[in-house]
A and B are shown apart, each in its own frame.
Chain A
Amino acid sequence: MKRKHKRLSFVLVALVLLGGAAALVLNAFEENIVFFQSPSDIASGKVGDDRRFRLGGLVEDGSVDRSGGETVMFRVTDTANTVNVSYTGILPDLFREGQGVVAEGRIVNGVFVADEVLAKHDENYMPPEVADAIKKSGQWQGSSN
């Protein structure tokens, strides 16, 4: 094989790899990308029932109901609208009433059934999505950043 041909074969292998990777990525994006929605987005009917999404906001004060065995019910609010959420399992350590929360799941019969509730390392930390959701609802009272 000539030097030029050899180089060409490496380039071809690289192109096949990149093409394969691109196909995998596009395919995975279509199925696995999860949009972030606020309670107001849901109230405005923007969200379909069939798709997984992430819900962000504050855990409403006094809304956490642990009477249902291992399933916990609570409400997530962006101060303009609220959504009922159910989650089966042990909530992360930093889950508290009045604190920001991000939950992932889908809507079933009007209730957001979460299969994942995200924890943070730092209790002062507000996920930017949650801050934005509250800002969008016009109720933001935090500091300027």
Chain B
Amino acid sequence: MIAELGHFALILALAVACVQGVIPMLGAQLGRLSWMRFADQSAILQFVLVGVSFACLTHAYVTSDFSVVNVVQNSHSAKPMLYKVSGVWGNHEGSMLLWVLILAVFGCAVAMFGRYLPPALKARALAIQALIAVGFYLFILLTSNPFQRMFPPAADGQDLNPLLQDPGLAFHPPMLYLGYVGFSMAFSFAIAALIEGRVDAAWARWVRPWTLAAWCFLTGGIALGSWWAYYELGWGGFWFWDPVENASFMPWLIGTALLHSCVVVEKRDTMKAWTIFLAIVAFSFSLLGTFLVRSGVLTSVHAFATDPERGVFILVLLLIVIGGSFALYAWRAPQLKSTGLFQPISREGALLLNNLLMGTAAGVVLLGTLYPLFIDAISDGQDKISVGAPFFNAVFIPLMTPMVAAMAIGPLLAWKRGDLTRALKTLWIAFVVAFALAIATWSWQSGQSPWGIVGVAIGAWLATGTLIELSERIRLFRIPFSQSLRRLISLPRASWGMTLAHFGLALAVFGVTGAGAWKVESVQTMRPGETVTVSGYDFRFDGAQEKQGPNYLTTEARFTVSRDGDVVTQLFPEKRVYTVRQMPTTEAGIYTMLSGDLYAVVGDSKSDGSYVTRIYFNPLVAWMWIGALTMVMGGVLSLSDRRFRIGAPRRAAAPAGAQPAE
């Protein structure tokens, strides 16, 4: 009964969304306020209905209702409660339901908190949201119904894929979806602005918080996913340039560009058409990501057993959204006039350079991801190729290096017309620090990949440069220290956000460099009592024993790690077999230090009692996660800036330079 209720609520939500896609849009066109207001009520109603639907599916999982096919295929009565709940979105149907739930959450948030928005803009944006939702409701109801029953009910479930039974992965999909779907808000506002023919500073202020929120979630989601891959898959790496990872990374790159170009629209009333373009592209990439994951067209570690019909449905949806929005863009964008002029060397110029580099990077990632499909298609299935990590590293790193280098300079340039020489003079300390660290790195690791040296140098350059920019802002050492301190405290939170986010990226650069350039790996067969030395750490294998977990059997090995005779830690890598699916998984034993991670994996046992073991020393990996966390914190801090909340969202009475198209 409850499953049918969930199904029915979803159908009602579809009906509401259909009306919401039409009435407010017409109301905005005809100037009827009550029709526009309808969008608020229907957005909230949609949220309630999808919420009910999602709660019903969750109920089926929590109570292990094995008459629902989806529960049978992805749950088991012996599974811990956390994974019963996360199992709701750990499968195709449930994850699509989560997608529309988040879409409804965002719509509801606009309806409830956007009270300063002009009614027409709000009505149009919510109508666009509803139209996107219609597409996804239809997708769920027609191709992937999570509430399907089976008769007779199964005795027990087939369990959730054991790799997904993990705390990191329980929260990875919701975070990622909050990011993906968050860009739909920027998209809806962009389309609404195109229909209105007006983009101004106030518009940028309304769009920025949504973009920022989406960006924070996406950053967090990607970091969580790569952290999970790092400790769960036992490959000692955290980023594989897998097509599905790329699918989440491309919207991140474009979203980052969008975030920066919104600043220019807000402060300088220029780069409007470009910002609209980025908003459309960011959401298009989110949809493309969904298509790549859900259709199984690409070989990927993420590929679930898939259904071609679903792929075609999303592809059609993708074509409608992208085709329609770009047609609208081509028609209306030329009418968006910019007033702010600027020199190439200026803050605007630097932000534009950021946009160009981010866009190019996203472009090459897209090319590398889709190229195998393209070759397959033109050779009629005769040639199959794969484009892997070496390609992406060879292209992406040279593109990002100048970007990171420019990031230290950009914030020091003035709006309109900047002084590059002065900015570089201000940065002399950063130059000295970067150079000194590069020399130190070179003398320490001579003969290895030059990218290690480059990575350390640009990481140090950006970190020091960001701190210099902060001290310039508070005029450190040029006015009395107490005054500087007061300035520091009263800095707007948005500027703190930038400082933290840029500094976080510098930390992440160190992490990526360390793990990418200097990882040490050692594979061997070990008997209990034997010791192997990796990067100066002695790993003694103490043996392994069998244990029983809640729904798995495990072989737990013990390593005692010491350095120069002093015990550092003990590692307990496991090899588990989940009993229901008879599926083995690896749990790495990891000890994290700021200098690097000690990482041990245990493999198969031999008849003579020895085990294959794989030991890594991953230098500086922790900086990667600390950096990502710092970036998210910067985003959150910026989001809490008061100008996004108080007073500011009112549109100026006679907006300068905005020319309504009607």
Contact = CB atoms under 8 A, between A and B. Distances in A.
Nearest to B389: A32
Nearest to B309: A145
Contact of A21 (B299, B363, B383, B603): B363
Interface stretch (B44-52, B204-212, B275-283, B580-588): B580-588
B282 to A, nearest CB: 19
Contacts of B19: none
Interface string B298-315: 010111110010000000
B395 A21 contact: yes
A36 B387 CA distance: 11
Contact of A125 (B304, B383, B399): B304
Interface stretch (B96-104, B352-360, B623-631): B352-360
B301 A66 contact: no
A102 B360 contact: no
Contact of A33 (B161, B233, B303, B385): B385
Interface residues of A, number: 47
B394 interface: yes
B364 interface: yes
A25 interface: yes
B394 A31 contact: yes
A25 B225 CA distance: 27
Contacts of A25: 364, 367-368, 395
Interface string B329-370: 000000000000111100001001100110010011001100
Nearest to B349: A10
A106 to B, nearest CB: 14
Given A32-B387, A69-B525, A90 B603 contact: yes
A80 interface: no
B381 interface: yes
B308 A145 contact: yes
B385 A35 contact: yes
Contacts of A118: 301
Contact residues on B (Cβ < 8 Å of other chain), bracket: 35 or more
Interface centre among B299, B385, B524 (most CB of A within 10 A): B299
Given A66-B606, A89-B523, A90-B603, A32 B390 contact: yes
Given A6-B343, A21-B395, A94-B583, A121 B390 contact: no
A28 B606 CA distance: 41
B402 to A, nearest CB: 9
B583 A90 contact: no
Given A21-B364, A35-B385, A89-B614, A3 B341 contact: yes
B234 A70 contact: no
Given A89-B523, A90-B603, A28 B299 contact: no
B395 A90 contact: no
Interface string B543-584: 000000000000000000000000000000000000001011
A21 B399 contact: yes
Please name the 6 residue pairs, one residue from A and one from B, whose CB atoms are nearest each other, closest first: A90-B603, A36-B384, A28-B394, A32-B391, A32-B390, A93-B584
Given A36-B386, A89-B614, A93-B585, A119 B364 contact: no
B185 interface: no
Given A10-B344, A121-B304, A122-B304, 8 more contacts: A20-B399, A28-B394, A32-B391, A33-B385, A34-B387, A66-B606, A90-B614, A123-B583
Nearest to A16: B356
B660 interface: no
Contacts of B303: 120-122, 125
A27 interface: yes
Interface in B366-384: 367-368, 371, 381, 383-384
Nearest to B307: A145
B70 to A, nearest CB: 15
